[in-house]
Amino acid sequence: MSRWEPNARGRLEQAALELYRERGFDQTTVTEIAERAGLTERTFFRYFADKREVLFWGQERLRELYVRAIAAAPESTEPIDAVALALEAAVPVFHERRELARKRQAVVEANPGLQERELLKSAALAAAMAEALRNRGVPEPTASLAADVGAIAFKTAFARWVSDPDKHDLSRLIRESLDQLKSITAGA
């Protein structure tokens, strides 16, 4: 038997989500999270930069998917379509973890501090997509605007999907949101 239980990070993550759901983010101390995971507060901060980050560290995987999908799009693809391909490439990640996504989202929606962090992560993902577009030769401000529009479309689609993940198809919702954005900006 090894000295430590395996998967300390995962245990901390699960303990945190449980406690945030049971008593709320503000009413949960890091010490409590660590105790439930059988670790100490200090170890929590070795895995996560702060108390919020425990709910968001998965974003790194998304970033890679986005960047790869944009880089792999056919040469002639319009920027907004390359962004759409990236967003759809990440759909399976959410489908696989729909229950986790629901629980996580409910916690985030209950706390402004967590919403701040979510917005920062979303902005970071958009910035990564913009950079990937620039690497394809898309100039500014087109690259950033296309990436930001994509982020909005995803946010809108995700909000609807997460309310009932089995009823909706996330890919379809993303395409619908992009279509709606098109008709909105086309106005007048």
Partner DNA sequence: ACAGGTGATGTCAGTTACTGTTATCACTAT
Partner DNA sequence: ATAGTGATAACAGTAACTGACATCACCTGT
Residues near a copy of itself (CB under 8 A) are 78-81, 112, 115-117, 119-120, 123, 141-142, 144-146, 148-149, 152, 155-156, 160, 177-178, 180-182, 184-188
Q: Assess 185 for contact with DNA (CB under 7 A).
A: no
Q: How far is the CB of 56 from a copy of itself (least distance, A)?
A: 12
CA distance 66 to 83: 8
Beta-carbon contacts of 27 under 8 Å, excluding residues fewer than 6 positions away, are none
| Residue 149 binds which entry of DNA, a copy of itself, none, CB below 5-8 Å type-dependent | a copy of itself
Confirm or reject binding of residue 16 to DNA (CB under 7 A): no
How distant, in Å, are the alpha carbons of 20, 92, 110, 156 from that of 119?
19, 22, 14, 13
Q: Tell me, by CB under 7 A, how many residues bind DNA.
A: 23
The size of the chain, in residues, is 188
Confirm if 70 and 82 have CB atoms less than 8 A apart: yes
- Residues that bind DNA in the complex, under the rule CB under 7 A: 1-4, 8, 28-31, 34, 38-43, 45-47, 49-52
